[in-house]
Each structure stands twice: as C-alpha cells, then as structure tokens.
Structure 1
Amino acid sequence: MAPLSLLSIGASLLGRTVGVCSSSSVLRCSCIAPALQRFSTTAGPPRRPLSAYLCYVIEQQPIVLKQNPDVKIVDITRKIAQQWKTLTPDQKRPFEEASLTDRERYRVDLQKYQSQLTPAQAAAIAEEKRRRMEKRNASRKKRELNSLGKPKRARSAFNVFMAEHFQEAKGSNVQAKLKSLMDDWKDLYVSQKQVYVQLAEDDKVRYKNEMKVWEEHMTELGREDLVRQKEKKATGTKGDKNNSTVKVLKDKVPTKEKVAKKTQPPAKKALEITEM
C-alpha cells in the first residue's frame, strides 16, 4: 500500500502526465485533470514518477471520499487498495500507461536538471545520496539482525543508571531528561557508581555468552558474514598459529654444522687463520 504522504507528491507528477497520456488512459484519467491543473513545477530537482497504483489512488480518492464522508483517510486508502487488487489487467492498463509516460517525463527532466548543475553541486548531491543509501542499508541490516535474534549489546554503567532512573528524571522531554540524568551521574560518588559498574560488567558477560551461541548458530545456517571478524580469525587461523610455533621451535634446534662450529677448539681456529 502506498504511503499517504506520497499522494500530494503524486498529484503534481500526474498533472504533467495526463496531458501526454495515450487515448485509452486519457478517457480513464480525465476525471482528475481539473484537480491537477493547480499544481506547478518548481526549479528544484524533478519529482519522482508516479506508479500505476498512485495514479489510481489519485483518481479514486475524491470519489470514495464523496461516497464515505465520515470515513477516516486511512480507511479510505485501505478501501482503494482493496479495489486495486480486484481490477483486471485491462482495467489497470490505462494507469500503467500513465505511469510509463510519467517515467519518461522524469528521465528527460532529470537529464535537463543534471546538465544545469555545477561540479560542486553534483558532488554534493552524490554525497548526500551516498549518505542516504548508507543509512538505508544500516537500517535494513539492523532489521535483519533483529529478526535473526541477535543479542542486544552490553550496556554501559551510565546506561544502566539511566534505565533505572529515567522515569523519575527531571525534564518535560527526552533531551531534558537525559541532560538531568547526566548531571546526576556526574554528582555521584565513586562508591555509588560502583554498583552500576558491576551491573555493566555482568551485562558484558551476558552479551559475550549470548553472542557466542548466536554466532555458532549463524555459522550453522551458513551466515558466516554475520560472524565478527575477530572470532573468525580466532577459529580459522588456529592451525596456522600452531604451524608457525612449530616452525619457530624448529629453527631454534641447533644443526650439526652449528654444533661443530660452536665446539671447535680455539687453537684450531687460530691455526686456520695463520695458514691463510
């Protein structure tokens, strides 16, 4: 189901799409053309193209709202989504054609927009896109790890203190409460902090044990990519470490030539030097 926040964005995109729709899509989408004329383009980057589903939502929303004036917008969107699922391929085709046309419009507008950018602006946009992608990937990986049951990280002494006293902390919002807790933590004596330090140490033991079991389970599932690198080295290079130790010990074993050289009498060495 499409997010509600996309509806207003989609309406602007569809306004530029309806004028170039095919003959079959114009007939189906003509009912929303007047409502789209009030949207105008901006000097910024082009808006992303509408999907076929969003085209259908924009057409059906005023109709369903008129038929159900007392229904919440969330329920309206849910009803439209159910209607979309029941449409036949022929009924969906006009909206799919409108979406394809809007995609072509977006491609042309994007090329035009990018050609007007300075190198510095293009680099800044690329960097921002990279940061958004990293954030999205990190969020996706976090959800995956949570679904796989990865243990929660060990808490610090302050985190233990904060969790215990957060409800009673001063402040009307989260930031104010955190600031108040940080001030209270700084005012504690070392002996008072020691209780939370010990709890944090116990939590480290808990985390270490749970992570060991979890990583063994991930290895059994074939997800070695989720195992920490240091754990891989500790298990994967154990044999190499033993071999290197044997090699070092072997090098320390004196050979026959070394023994003979060390046990050679000093007089014989002096004689050899004189003869040379």
Structure 2
Amino acid sequence: MRFGADMMRIGNLAFKNFRNVLLPRHSLGSFPADQPSCGLKQSVEEKLGLPPRPKKPLTPYFRFMQQIRPSIIQKNPQAKATDIVKMVAAEWEKADQGVRDSLQRKFHEEMMEYAEEYTHYQNKLTDKQRQALREAKDQKVREKRKKLIQKKMQEMGKPKRPMTGFVRFMYEQKDKRGSMPFREWQAKVAEEWQQLPDNEKEEYSKKSQRDLADYQERLQEWEERMIRLGHIDIVRKEALIESRDSSRGTLSHRSHSRE
C-alpha cells in the first residue's frame, strides 16, 4: 500500500514537471488549478481577506484613452489592439491644450482625494495586517522575478532536463488514456509500472541515465556560454563557483609559468 502511495506521489511530481509532454495543450484547462477565478485577478488584499485598498486615479493620458477608445474601436472594428493603442496616441498628440489641462486638473483633484483615502485605509490596518501585506507583496515580487528568469532561460535555449524512467513509461502510455480522468489514468499507469518486470524497468532507468549524462554536459556548456555573455542571473550558483575556481586555477597556472 505504501509503495502505491509513493508511486502516486511520483506521478503527481511527474505531471507537475512534464505536464506539457504528458497532455495535449487543449486538455490542460480541465484541471482546477488552471481555472481562473471567473476571469478576475485577485488583489493581494483580497487574497488576505482584507478590505480593498483605494484605487489610484487614472492619469490624464489613460483617462483620455478611456474616453475615446470606444469610438475608435467602433470606427475601426477590424483593428488590432496594438493598432488601437497607436491611434489613441496619435489622437493624444493632436488633442487641444485645454483638453489636456482639464484632464490634468481632474487628475490632481482625484490624487488629493486618493492620498486622504489611502492614509485613512493604512491607519485602519493592524500591525499584523501590515506585516502580512508586506510579506505577500514580497512574495509576489519573488514569483514575478522567478517567472522572468524562467522565460529568459527558455529564450536563451537552456537545455531541458530529461524524463525519469517512470515519466518516460508514463509518456509512452499517454495515447492509451482516451477519455479517462487524469487521476484515474495516473493511478492505472503507476500500478502498471509497479508490476513491470525489473529487467524492463532497468532499461528505462539506463536510458534516463544516458540522457541525464548528456543533459548535464549540455547544461555545463550552456552555463559557461551564459557566463561569458554576462547572463549570470540565469546560471546556477554552483556553476558560478566552479567558474570562479576555474579562473583562479588558470591565473595560478599562468603565474607559475612566468616564474
């Protein structure tokens, strides 16, 4: 029973790391974790169960955009969103100075009101709530930075980690899933893997080990190239340490050679 539970845990990990391989793209949205909250993004305050903070007023330009965008879309129904933005910018450049001054005055008045409301809002929060807000916002910044790093890694062609033996076996079974719910199919594959003869499991393991050795070699070459290009933000710390140690060794060797 314990082994089966372990296999399910491995299967869950496999799905998390290799979901794009195991499932077609159109099926990914069928899982609860992928469903948006009615299309609305929650604020940090909403996630913490706090009252919503006051909203900053629109800047003159964005208020201008809000006012004329509907008419521009109506006149140009086939235009792309990027083209609409360019049209709004062009209209802003042609806008009368009186219109701009009026929007600026409105913005200034609303900013004064916002500052008062925000101060009142902050004064109502407890120290514990402020601390929770700070931590949540810091976490949000870390998550955003992590996503940017992952995107950069992908754009710079970082080698992909190979599948483990079990994930490879799971991948080979994916066409047999049919309409079976993923969790049920995952349990079935885990049971089949458990019953697989040891010599067949060994073949999967050997293939994964060969792929892993090739991956580690390609990863090292990629990291060395990234370091040379100055992209140290997407390189592992241990690779940077190895690079520094290698540089010291080279300098030491040159020094002894001169002597």
Tell me the TM-score normalized by structure 1.
0.57
Shift of 1:126: 1.7
Q: Given that residues 46 and 106 in structure 1 are in contact (C-alpha distance below 8 angstroms), is that contact kept between their aligned partners in structure 2? A: yes
* 1:86 aligned onto 2:94: no
Counterparts of 1:15-164 in structure 2 under 5 Å?
43-52=51-60, 54-64=62-72, 71=77, 75=79, 77-78=81-82, 80-89=84-93, 91=95, 93=100, 98=106, 102-164=110-172
2:169 corresponds to 1:165: no
Corresponding residue for residue 207 of structure 2: 199
CA displacement 1:203-244 (0-9 Å, x = unmatched): 21121111121122112213344433333434533667xx9x
Structure 2 counterpart of 1:230, from 238, 242, 247: 238
Aligned-pair CA distance for 1:181: 3.4
Secondary structure of the residue aligned to 1:87 is helix
8 Å CA contact 1:169, 1:180 repeated in 2: no
Q: Which moved more, 1:117-126 or 1:59-68?
A: 59-68
CA distance in 2, matches of 1:53, 1:180: 58
Counterpart residue identity of residue 83, structure 1: M
Counterpart CA distance in 2 for 1:134 and 1:186 is 39
Ranges in structure 1 where 5+ consecutive residues have no aligned partner: 10-41, 244-276
The separation in 2 between residues aligned to 1:114 and 1:188, in whole angstroms, is 61
Change (3 A) 1:127 1:224: closer
Q: CA RMSD in A?
A: 3.5
SS at match of 2:201: helix
Higher RCO (CA < 8 A, seq sep 6+): 2
Q: Show CA shifts across 1:153-209 (max 9, x none).
A: 232222222322223226555555444433443343333322221221122112111
Unaligned runs of 5+ in 2: 1-38, 44-49, 253-259
Contact 1:65 1:76 in 2 (8 A): no
The verdict on how the C-alpha distance between 1:57 and 1:208 changes in structure 2, with shifts beyond 3 A counting, is same
- 2:220 aligned residue: 212
Q: How many positions carry a matched residue from both structures?
A: 198
225-234 or 202-211, which deviates more: 225-234
Q: Is the 8 A contact 1:171 1:177 kept in 2?
A: no
State how far apart, in whole Å, the 2-side matches of 1:87 and 1:203 are.
57
Q: Distance in 1 between matches of 2:139 and 2:86?
A: 36
Shift of 1:117: 0.8
Deviation at 1:128, TM superposition (A): 1.5
* One-letter identity of the residue aligned with 1:136: K
Q: Percent identity?
A: 21
Cα deviation 1:62-98 (Å, max 9, x = unaligned):
4356657xx58xx575553232121244628355665
Structure 2 distance, partners of 1:64, 1:150, is 43
Question: Structure 1 residues 225 and 64, CA, compared in 2 at 3 Å: closer, same or farther?
Answer: closer
2:245 partner amino acid: T
**Is the deviation greater in 192-201 or in 81-90?**
81-90
Write the distance in 2 (CA, Å) between the matches of 1:197 and 1:103. Answer: 63
Name the CA shift for 1:170/1:148 in 2 (closer, same or farther; >3 Å). same
